[in-house]
């Protein structure tokens, strides 16, 4: 089946603009995660959904960051009034999230590279 | 707090050599999961292997093998007979319930020279 997809793959924004990044998880995956990856670093957790419920948003760096998953499938990460320090790759991952040996293995999308000028 | 340390940053090997990546982790949980992911230049993180904390048996999958030592909190990964397509950044990651997130190391850049 299809893997995790993300769009757009690349986004250039002027400082102060709002952006919206989309994630389409693997069909049937209950859990969805967003990570931020700065250049040369490992991904850092942003937020976690189980179905439509956002269970953990402790990694969001500021209140300019907002994520939603209204119907429990597609998710959108929105960044308001973008700043240069928001430039990074934003990765989305999904997992089955149910019981079972490999239920918690996270599968990642290709990411969205955001550049804020 | 959970922490994953990958000491080496860049490793260069000649094709067909073996390459071993070191990973040391910290966690107070007794049940956790360890992963290795590969990130080629295209940017997508590709799942390679998973090891559960309660299963210390080391395994081999194709050209990949791993050595999980709970006593030293290490989870090392070896690519046997490296190929140019193995050139990528490799991340070690830790997951446990209650946190519901992967904690990643900084990654190892592997360059395989033909």
Shortest CA distance to B92 belongs to which of B79, B81, B103? B103
| Mean predicted confidence (pLDDT) in B44-62 | 83
A27-30 CB contacts, 8 Å cutoff, 24+ apart: A27/A1, A27/A2, A27/A73, A28/A96, A29/A94, A29/A95, A29/A96, A29/A97, A29/A107, A30/A72, A30/A95, A30/A96, A30/A97, A30/A98
Distance from CA of A69 to the nearest CA of B (A): 17
Q: Which among B4, B42, B101 has CB closest to A45?
A: B101
Report CB contact under 8 Å: A106, B102.
Answer: yes
Is A8 in the B-facing interface, judged by CB distances under 8 Å? no
User: Are the C-beta atoms of B77 and B61 separated by less than 8 Å?
Assistant: no
Q: Measured between alpha carbons, how far is B87 from B79 in angstroms, rounded to an integer?
A: 11
Q: Which residue of chain A comes nearest to B10, CA vs CA? A: A40
Residues B67-83 have pLDDT tens digits of 998 899 999 999 999 99
Asked if pLDDT for residue A108 goes beyond 80, the answer is: yes
Nearest 10 degrees: Cα torsion A69, B42, B38, B29:
-30
| Mean predicted confidence (pLDDT) in A59-70 | 96
DSSP A94: E
Shortest CA distance to B1 belongs to which of B32, B23, B35, B22? B32
| Mean predicted confidence (pLDDT) in A3-16 | 96
Interface of A with B in 22-61 (CB under 8 A): 31, 33, 35, 40-45, 48, 55-56, 59
Q: Measured between alpha carbons, how far is B61 from B48 in angstroms, rounded to an integer?
A: 9
| Mean predicted confidence (pLDDT) in A16-35 | 96
* Residue that is written with structure tokens 């250049």 in the block: A39
pLDDT of res. B99: 74
| Mean predicted confidence (pLDDT) in B25-42 | 91
Cβ pairs bridging A and B (under 8 Å): 55
Is B44 in the A-facing interface, judged by CB distances under 8 Å? yes
Q: Measured between alpha carbons, how far is A7 from A5 in angstroms, rounded to an integer?
A: 7
- Helix, strand or coil for residue B41? coil
pLDDT of res. A114: 98
Report CB contact under 8 Å: B43, A89.
Answer: yes
- Helix, strand or coil for residue B107? coil
pLDDT of res. A100: 59
Asked if pLDDT for residue A15 goes beyond 70, the answer is: yes
Pairing mode of beta strands A31-37, A53-56: unpaired
Chain B residue numbers with beta carbons less than 8 Å from the beta carbon of A108 are 37, 44-47
Chain A residue numbers with beta carbons less than 8 Å from the beta carbon of B47 are 105-108
pLDDT of res. A102: 66
């Amino acid at each position: 089946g299809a893997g995790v997809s993300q769009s757009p793959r690349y986004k250039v924004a002027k400082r102060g603009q709002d952006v919206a990044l989309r994630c389409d998880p693997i069909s049937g995956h209950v859990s969805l995660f967003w990570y931020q990856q700065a250049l040369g670093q490992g991904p850092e957790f942003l937020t976690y959904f189980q179905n439509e419920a956002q269970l953990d948003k402790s990694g969001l760096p500021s209140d300019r960051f907002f994520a939603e998953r209204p119907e429990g499938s597609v998710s959108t990460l929105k960044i308001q009034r973008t700043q240069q320090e928001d430039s990074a790759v934003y990765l989305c991952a999904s997992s089955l999230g149910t019981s079972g040996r490999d239920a918690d293995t996270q599968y990642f999308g290709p990411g969205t590279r955001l550049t804020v000028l | 707090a959970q922490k994953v340390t990958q000491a080496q940053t860049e490793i260069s090997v000649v094709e067909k050599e073996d390459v071993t990546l070191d990973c040391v982790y910290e966690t107070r949980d007794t049940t956790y999961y360890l992963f290795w992911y590969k990130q080629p230049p295209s940017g997508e993180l590709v799942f390679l292997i998973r090891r559960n904390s309660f299963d210390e048996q080391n395994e081999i999958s194709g050209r990949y093998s791993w050595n999980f030592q709970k006593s030293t909190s290490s989870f090392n990964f070896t690519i046997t007979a490296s190929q140019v397509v193995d050139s990528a950044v490799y991340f070690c990651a830790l997951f446990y319930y209650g946190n519901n997130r992967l904690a990643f190391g900084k990654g190892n850049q592997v360059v395989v020279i033909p």
